[in-house]
Structure 1
Amino acid sequence: MRALLVVNPAATTTSARTRDVLIHALASEMKLDAITTEYRGHARDLAQQAAESGDVELVVSLGGDGTVNEIVNGLLHRGPEPDRLPRLAVVPGGSTNVFARALGLPNDPVEATGMILDALSERRERTVGLGLAAGTPGTEDEAAPSRWFTFNAGLGFDAGVVGRVEQHREQGKRSTHALYLRQAMRQFLDDPYRRHGTITLERSGEEPITGLVMSIICNTSPWTFLGNRPVYASPKASFDTGLDVLALRRMSTASVARYATQLLTSSPERGPHGKHAVSLHDLTDFTLHSKVPLPLQMDGDHLGVRTSVTFTGVRRALRVIV
């Protein structure tokens, strides 16, 4: 078997020692090419080359969720063809590693490598669904490039938080849960639209849902982790179904305190709920429109601002080693 290992040296918990241990372990089982990324988008380019080569059977990611997202977009640049495309294996090397942990992998890279090697030996894999976001035809965002996401996306408040965190990371600060919580508070205080929502959700055959302040799109559950604590925005979300949505119509101080508490105490059986919360399960296609440009994020990567995004849940899009 020929495999490509893509290493992001800037990922939060990726070290040279971890990389060397992983290379040694994988190289003992397969023909391995290991490449360290050198610029943003490099992982996507490497995965695209691997998909087009025809002789790479496995692409291994060592990095965080951003690295995984780039690799997935490189592999699927021509669309989902799971039987033809290389399989994906994920070794967690970031600060949160939502995708890897949602697959059931340990958060420790060495332990995860051992599990992946066992899975390869036993031919264990699953074909997971993914989310696809694109510019909406007939809008000013029509030309926006399509992009795949593995675990979540967001338009509005949570994407604004992601953008703030990225700004601090560019200034040299580490990505920590404390940093996210501080920026969430600042985003809340600065958000001019938190009381009067600008987002409308449209789907075929249903009445539009208007006045939304924020919208979180989940492709799996949990939505994220705070340390070792899983946080469930849409508990029913799954790699085996379409997309789930959690949206809020209001974000007053009292409602935010209530929903934050519900998130922190959420479980696989129950997520945020209440008269200002909208929860939708297993959607295939829907569009979010906003009266004003709002920030967009996918898999924790800030993508600028949009006024209209169309989302598609694509079942059985990619084979993953688990």
Structure 2
Amino acid sequence: MRVMLITNPFATFTTPEGRDALAHTLASRYEVVVEHTAHRGHAGELGARAVTEGFDAVVVHGGDGSVNEVANGILGSPDALPRDPSTLPALGVVPGGSANVFARALGIDRDPLAATALIMTMLDRRERRTISLGHTAGRWFLFNAGMGMDAIVVRRMEELRHKGRKATAGRYFRTTLSSFFRPSVTPPSFTVEVPGHDPVDGVRFGFVSNTGPWTYFGAREIRTNPGTDFDHGLGIFAATSVSVPRNILLGARLLAGVEPKARHLFRQDDVDWVRFTSPEPADVQIDGDYLGLFEKLEFGHRRGVLDVVAPPKTV
């Protein structure tokens, strides 16, 4: 079995010793080619190369951004004709970032040693799990995309990382709180449309989910759309207010693990598409990666598009 191991040496929680140990462990059983990402977009180039050169699997040791790039490289443009996922390399993840949302949503242990053992067991058995993905702006997203306040937080986090700050869970939490409390941070309102429902105007921030949970508070799962998973359509979670008191109550429900409800919240699960329309450019993020400013985006969904090295879905 031929395996490409892609590691991100700049990921928050990877070390040279850990990367070497992972490479040696995989090489003890498979034909392994090790690649280290050197620049933004490099992981996607490597994922595309793995397809061209006929690798059986690609294992990524890094954060969600690296995994997203590799998945996009393996699959190519969402506008192209879909390929049978069984003819493409399966994607495995050994967590190495600060959040590791995709791996955790797949049931992959946060501990790199445990994750590696699971991946090797499944590779030996040639077991794959086929999942669905969302897409927008010519890119696939694995777990979540957002417009408004959520994307502003991601943008501010990227600014901090460029200054040398690590993207820890605590820093994300503090940045989120400060974004809501700062009067200078005012995301534009936009309209959300989904099939079979009247447009929702005045939305201040919205999430389009491909699975749940797509975010965590430490080890605690946060499920904005409890009915959304890798086997169904998209989930939409859109709030028409950035009022601190109103969103603190909503946040408390999310932290408590109960169904999120609020008068200023519009939420639906298992939809085929979502459209965001803003009268002025608004911040957008995909899988925790800042995408830029957009006035209009349509989010689509494709079922059974990617094979992953992960345990079966638990009921």
TM-score, reference length from structure 2: 0.93
Q: What is the deviation of 1:164? A: 0.3
% identity of equivalent residues = 40
State the match for 1:115 in structure 2: 118
* Kept after mapping to 2: 8 A contact 1:154/1:215: yes
Alpha-carbon offset, residue 192 of structure 1: 5.4
User: How do 1:2-13 and structure 2 match up within 5 A?
Assistant: 2-13=2-13
Structure 2: runs of 5+ lacking an equivalent: 311-315
Where 2:86 maps in the other structure, the secondary structure is coil
Q: Which runs of 4+ in 1 moved over 4 A?
A: 191-194
Distance 1:225 1:192, change over 3 A: closer
Q: Which residue pairs with 1:76 in the alignment?
A: 75
1:66 corresponds in structure 2 to: 65
In 2, distance between residues paired with 1:271 and 1:10?
37
1:181 counterpart = 2:161: no
What is the match of residue 20 of structure 2? 20
Alignment partners' CA distance in 2, 1:78 and 1:210: 31
Q: Is the Cα contact below 8 Å between 1:18 and 1:110 reproduced in 2? A: no
Give the AA of the match of 1:111: A
- The answer as to 2:305 corresponding to 1:317 is yes
Tell me which residue corresponds to 2:194.
Answer: 203
Secondary structure of 1:83's aligned partner: helix
* Distance in 2 between residues matched to 1:239 and 1:284, nearest whole Å: 13
Confirm whether residue 86 of structure 1 aligns to residue 85 of structure 2. Answer: no
Aligned to 1:302: 290
- Taking structure 1 as reference, are residues 191 and 317 closer, same or farther at Cα in structure 2, changes over 3 Å only? farther
Matched AA of 1:60: V
Q: Name the Cα RMSD after superposition.
A: 1.4
Report deviation, 1:313: 1.4
Q: Distance in 2 between matches of 1:224 and 1:204?
A: 25
- Correspondence for 1:149: 141
| Aligned mates of 2:234, 2:184 — CA distance in 1 | 26
Helix, strand or coil at the partner of 1:217 = strand
Task: Indicate the SS of the match to 1:175.
Answer: coil
- Greater displacement, 218-227 / 158-167: 218-227
Aligned residue for 1:213? 204
Deviations 1:284-304 (A, max 9, x none): 122110112111001100011
CA distance in 1, matches of 2:6, 2:183: 38
TM-score (norm 1): 0.91
Which residue number corresponds to residue 105 of structure 1?
108
What does residue 128 of structure 1 align with? Answer: 131
Structure 1: stretches of 5+ with no match in the other structure: 135-145
* Aligned residue number for residue 30 of structure 1: 30
Q: Equivalent residue for 2:313?
A: none
CA distance in 2, matches of 1:102, 1:30: 26
- Which position in structure 2 is the counterpart of 1:254? 245
Aligned residue pairs, count: 305
CA–CA distance in 1 between the matches of 2:150 and 2:36?
A: 30
Structure 1 segment 222-233 matched on structure 2, within 5 A: 222-233=213-224
Tell whether 2:157 aligns with 1:169: no
- String of CA shifts for 1:98-120, please: whole Å, max 9, x gaps: 10011101001111000101111
